[in-house]
Structure 1
């Protein structure tokens, strides 16, 4: 009996030792929580503390106070209307939060974040919410509903629904009494409802504040403070008294906590203390600049003032104060000013959480004795608002620059100078290689002398020497160009440079307080990012530009910077708002691709300017597609004269109920490896590769009809139009080569469906010069269109296609699921030409028969079990290997990995043992030579005998 039990235990123990292959070797993940709106300090036993944080992105999280790492995180339903984050409160054991747009209350365990219970409030959504917990009851207000629960129970014991919609809602507590204060729209009289010990409403009172506006008011445990101009009103909820104070400056904002109120102006801040005996009195007057942040500590006895170089603590009821200097951050990490402060005093020092305008969250401690600010940790939470991503190659290494120098001026030199130049270049490469090998030999000898002299120790030393120059090596391009700099732009006004090898921040750029994203008819927030010059030209630095608008003037702003170090090269502010912008497909003499900016009144600016000599006949004009209310038109921009004229106009058959949701064109630098597709009959079906083709997806919500129209933006010709009935959002679309893939929600089938449209010229090539496609040359025959639909068992949040350097590798479509998985679907599966029945010839060609379902296999998830929540976009970029594509998915989390759609056919596997195969080959060579000598000696001896 004991033997089977022992075997079973041994088998179960071995199962726990199975891990995914190569986990974390080529990928990394950054979990984020968002921009904090509420931060509370909380104790965990008697040793360590934590921070309870709710954010603008409806996320509730617990952060370890010592490290800043996420203890647990709960991602709620994303509400676009709520901008103040989750409303929550806590007691000793649980956290109580209002979720589902005010329709339910969720109770969470503080230790591990597990959901304890959920209670229903109402069926109506509301952003006006309040919550309060006592020893026995939980009070919740959401919209028109006031509801009371007994702790530990899911059924309410008291519920009251008003007839009016509230614009303000808050709870106040005094001893055993709980008060709820609310306001109607346009009414300055606040209604106060008092609850007795049994949680039943007792009395209704009124509190009149003449300057009451919910956006200009703040409240704490007892008082409601409102401002208007230089007038400050503080209403006592318990006594219904109103204290009025007139200040000598215009109040811009107020902050209140406990008995203190901070009234802040442009250059001055008044600290007001409110007590039942003395009323409201000004205790302190602080001279602070607009870049300084001011906050009240948790004990309500002191004020914290934070600036870029110091943090000061001012005691309210005494003249004591002190200031501690902050250590200057690295110049590569340019941060914004602080907007919120959460602070408390513990036994040893002051603990302060600083939240910047760019959502950067810092935790620092201040020692009152040494007056030193100790930086503990920081989290860059603005990455949760990523809107634009580009990947830039690293600079060339020294040996690669030598190779480029060797052939740079080969055509302009005579044979003698070219020969001398080659000898010098190759001699330098030889010296560099000898130096590297000497360093490896020294490393191996040192390792063997330190660790041991066995054969295994020697092999391990050689392997370590070969891996020493890995991703953590110098900041230069690796052999296969797999390591890149990821440029990330957020809607919070920050630009990051991230190392793709491990996700470390290389630099950070703050775009200023006046930053605002551009307006877009389709996307709400748009901050275009363009790489104008790559690092391929090693004599010149790379150049990238980000375009946004000034929120004060609405005029366009373009900021150019070096993508390797984040240094700003120029900042140009236009005199007009930006209506259209595009990257030109022609470069200047300095290898910079200019950006054309078109203003509201068709003003044109090309940055940097391009001379007429640099324009050719094929690049002197640019064609754009302009969207109107119910029509579209094609515009032609003459770059030499900088004039705009309308070429054509059409309506696409759209009605007032139709809404354009997606417009996708093809990148001008996309490469198509094969111009045709070989059929089973050995005929070639040539692809219709039109670089001027735009795919427009529109939805009619009244008739539930999805229309996909392919338009040539040069001539206005409608190449193809497809209608899909009973369709609804979300709709995603990708446009690559000669095909368009899209996804939509089918109302008829109650499922997600994928569609594919492919265009071919037929079996006869109609364009003789395929490198220069001319839309004005009429086609002999219209394109042959094949299309097909497939059933997909998951929802789709984002969609993109893989990119490789030469376009030789079979492309894959990446689909992000609402569950946090990213599925790789091969282009061979999402094919419009999959036959219904396979013939023998088709089987020999390895064709796949048509099946209506696209299988969702777990082994095809490129992020395996590393969940990526709320994916908004996926960026792909080619590497130096044709088989490998680099992928970055961004949303609530960032996830980076490598993708090999057709396998690693151009490189050995990463676990290939080079040392062992070298030793085996050496042994075989030596063994064959020794065997040859022995055989010769044996034959000679046999002849003598």
Structure 2
């Protein structure tokens, strides 16, 4: 505990765009992600060199990224903001605002063999900006409607320029024709008459059409199984080329794609392009001098990509090393997004071994000695994106590195012949659920547990067990001494304290734990808390985007020899159907226990304190027909449920209808509605329902007041805090409502309304208090309100609590405070026995975590201090809560876009374990009442040892002197 240092791991998220420098000695790659992040990664280690995080809303979404030399150009906020970044240090070169309009595409534009401009195409306009400073050179509005076309509007979707001083803009009137506009780069004037090309079969240009060679448009038609080509500069009609002439045909139900490449905007696009005919079938074609030729067919390709170095352009093809089989999960497509791939058939690589090969685009010939072979985890995700970094070696041969992104958002950087240079788990940028599990016992501790945990085998048997236990302890002690001696001979820098699953063991104070994290991509991680080492990972293939997760610990490591057990409930967003995944949280292996098959959508889960014969807590699942499923459902469990069914209650929330319902369990495992609360949805909507944590311990049942009387807390474990927000968004009529409802009886204990207030609302519900934060629209500031519930100076029932026997409503004390910042997340500290003072951990938008003593948010703080309030150590009331930098627990290690804070108790009462997660993950320990149960660093061991030895020595001397004195007295 003394030498612990906090850990922070930074991420960028799933890649949207990536650019790899085309030189052998390059040290960085530039990426833009779906998390609205622009960053540079070290190509040798995978570490983040620099990172810029935009807003987490759609306003910060990155629509396009272009690279030229040392500049990275990004278009964001739906085409409203154009930025240029210096790629070496990440500095902002310039930023400019663009006119509103639906963004389509952006492209670099060259003039006289020099790239000088960047063009941005929107739905109704095209603008040209200087690459050096972002200033607008010209803007031209595009004709939306034309005569005699039934007033249909033109959708402009493509932009093409190849250094000839003109820009071609392509628009489409769906199922009618194409419009081709040609603008002069110098002044934006239309240099030639608008070209109208009939294309009644064409609905969109994106993915279906592309420009190859010297401004030749190539499009596909699923209906006639043909390619259509048209030279934008010389021709006025499409020329049909049937695919049958090349012995090719489209797969049924698959939307084909054309993948072309333009290595440099100074010159024309390559005449070669990929035609994707099915999820696994790509053909490399060439259209040159009016002829379409077939260069090479790739029947078993998963991903393809183009890359250029100097004058050489190559095609990289990723294939499965074994035969590919049709599967049932998501499909793969080159450069495709997850939404696209879901619509395709899929490919399953049985051994998860893949090859990447390079081919010359001019001939389709495979380059020798360019194979990269790599393996992915068995049963894991498939590759989804492929980026290639090509360079010329000294002997003029082609070398390359590959960046592969898988479905579970893992990045792998590979070099020949298959070495993994580094990998990054970018799914950890979106953690959705988290639990901490105690580490297992050591071998010696487990042996002792087994000795005491089994029935007696007689005197001799127990003696032999004790001998074997002592031998194991002696062996472990000898190995520890040998390791200390061996490490002492090494330099300190060479001593490795690597943590792996084999040497995992609980420490003396239970400070090291296993962090089980569930990410939005459906990937599970087991991370050791003190080092941040990923010990295991598991990918759930059948999880769709937008699914919700609930992680529950059914059995901890305390029940040796039974392994710990976690259960994950996954609920699909669209179908509302759920399934259970049961696994060992220490090793990440799927449990042999078969969970029940859930045939109906699950509305609520309830983890009961009762256990089966294997010490697994019973999980109740309530479906949309209010039927209950128990897991595990053994005879012993069902018998226990029958006995305690009368005391099992649960609640359901229907936010759409504004209804809270309470149910009780019957002996036959059916349910009966016991109460209902209706929140009128035309006035307000339910935002949050928050109960108390099941592992929370309350040490003190009351507060001693200044007159020595006791004010007893109202500790209702069934209390629910319901937060509502007005549906009227006008700042004069908005309000926040708070309801404290007993989850067993449906009784409204307290309700209050904050007028002229709005969310987002962050709430913490613990012990006998509730703290929530909101935005005051009238005063334009953030405020806290704290509620505390007390029974009074006399306890109604000191021995047992029952919601059914509470005639007197508790006293509710309330006070509000001003907070000078918005809040990203909020949670309360928790300790093993609840003796330590409680602190609120508040995540700020700046990335800092503020540790605020709960005593500052006490509704009993007096405006005018009295003798009794001083006796009670109550702080005089001041409405302002200040943010002091010394209360930040993460110092300068800020957490970007924080979404949640998780707290867990440790073996030390003074210590609370904290994990903050968002785009980054930060793990630390906090000591709300200092480390009162740990010796200080400057503790004087020499002095106390000297005193003890002196006392022992003095005791021995005085004992001897006393004996001599008694002997002398006896002789007198």
TM-score by length of 2: 0.82
Report the Cα offset of residue 593 of structure 1.
2.0
- Distance in 2 (alpha carbons) for counterparts of 1:261 and 1:637: 65
Counterpart mapping for 1:58-457 below 5 A: 58-80=36-58, 85-122=62-99, 124=100, 126=102, 128-134=104-110, 135-142=115-122, 144-161=124-141, 169-179=157-167, 181=169, 183=171, 189-203=177-191, 204-206=194-196, 209=199, 210-213=201-204, 216-217=207-208, 219=210, 223=217, 225=219, 228=222, 231=225, 233=227, 238-239=232-233, 242=238, 245-246=242-243, 247-250=249-252, 251-254=254-257, 256-258=259-261, 259-266=271-278, 268-288=280-300, 292-298=302-308, 300-307=313-320, 308-313=352-357, 315=359, 316=361, 317-320=363-366, 324=371, 326-328=373-375, 335-348=380-393, 349-366=399-416, 372-405=417-450, 407-408=452-453, 417=459, 421=462, 431=471, 438=478
Q: 1:526 to 1:87 in 2, by over 3 A?
A: same
1:475: Cα distance to partner? 0.5
Contact 1:626 1:635 survives alignment (8 Å) = no
Alpha-carbon offset, residue 816 of structure 1? 0.9
Quick check: 1:37 aligned with 2:13? no
| Pairing of 1:609-758 with structure 2 (within 5 A) | 609-610=633-634, 611-615=637-641, 617-619=643-645, 621-627=648-654, 629-638=656-665, 640-652=667-679, 654-702=680-728, 703-758=733-788
Contact 1:127 1:142 in 2 (8 A): yes
Three-state SS of the structure 2 residue aligned to 1:808 is: coil
The answer to whether the Cα contact below 8 Å between 1:557 and 1:574 also exists between their aligned partners in 2 is yes
Counterparts of 1:501-900 in structure 2 under 5 Å? 501-512=530-541, 514-516=542-544, 526-549=548-571, 555-569=577-591, 570=594, 573-610=597-634, 611-615=637-641, 617-619=643-645, 621-627=648-654, 629-638=656-665, 640-652=667-679, 654-702=680-728, 703-770=733-800, 773-779=801-807, 781-900=808-927
Aligned length: 874
Shift of 1:136: 2.4
Three-state SS of the structure 1 residue aligned to 2:856 is: coil
Flag the 1:686–1:206 CA change in 2: closer, same or farther, 3 A. farther
Counterpart of 1:558 in 2: which secondary structure?
Answer: strand
Structure 1 residue 924 displacement after superposition: 5.9
Give the distance between the partners of 1:198 and 1:908, measured in 2 at CA. 76
Partner residue in 2 for 1:5: none
Alpha-carbon spacing, 1:327–1:118, altered in 2? closer, same or farther (3 Å): closer
Measure the CA separation in 2 of the matches of 1:663 and 1:634: 12
CA RMSD of aligned residues (A): 3.7
The answer to whether the 8 A contact 1:352-1:363 is kept is: yes
Q: How far off its partner does 1:169 sit?
A: 3.6
Alpha-carbon separation, structure 2, partners of 1:58 and 1:913: 49
1:35-58 per-position Cα deviation (integer Å, ceiling 9, x unaligned): 0121111258x8333211111111
Match of 1:488 in 2: 517
Q: Do the aligned residues in 1 keep the contact of 2:358 with 2:371 (CA within 8 Å)? A: no
Look up the match of 1:521: none
CA distance in 2, matches of 1:685, 1:184: 76
1:929 and 1:778 map into 2 onto residues whose CA distance is 61
Q: In structure 2, what is the Cα distance between the partners aligned to 1:767 and 1:230?
A: 82
How far apart in 2 are the matches of 1:536 and 1:230? 67
**Distance of 1:573 and 1:443 partners within structure 2:** 49
Structure 1: runs of 5 or more not aligned: 1-20, 367-371, 452-459, 518-523, 937-945
- Structure 1 residues 471 and 51: alpha-carbon distance in aligned structure 2, compared to 1, 3 A threshold: closer
Q: Distance in 2 between matches of 1:504 and 1:590?
A: 30
Contact in 1 for aligned 2:40/2:51 (Cα 8 Å): yes
Q: 1:806 to 1:137 in 2, by over 3 A?
A: same
| SS at structure 1 position matched to 2:779 | coil
CA contact (8 A) 1:87 1:131 kept: no
Separation in 2 of the partners of 1:728 and 1:476? 48
Structure 2 equivalent of residue 57 of structure 1: 35
* 1:516 match: secondary structure: coil
* Cα 1:638/1:207, change in 2 over 3 Å: farther
TM, length-normalised to structure 1? 0.84
Q: From the superposition, tell whether residues 126 and 864 of structure 1 become closer, same or farther in structure 2 (CA, over 3 Å).
A: farther
Structure 1 CA distance for aligned equivalents of residues 667 and 277 of structure 2:
51
- Cα distance, 1:363–1:63 mapped onto 2, change above 3 Å: same
The answer to whether the 8 A contact 1:580-1:597 is kept is: yes
What is the Cα deviation at residue 474 of structure 1? Answer: 2.5
Deviation at 1:156, TM superposition (A): 2.0
Question: Is the CA contact 1:54–1:86 (under 8 Å) kept in the aligned structure 2?
Answer: no
Alpha-carbon distance in 2 for matches of 1:350, 1:157:
38
Preserved contact between residue 390 and residue 486 of structure 1 (Cα < 8 Å) = yes
Q: Contact 2:39 / 2:49 at 8 angstroms: preserved in 1?
A: yes
Between 788-797 and 272-281, report the one with greater CA deviation: 272-281
CA separation of 1:261 and 1:448: change in aligned 2, threshold 3 A: closer
Residue 288 of structure 1 and its aligned partner are, at CA, apart by 1.9
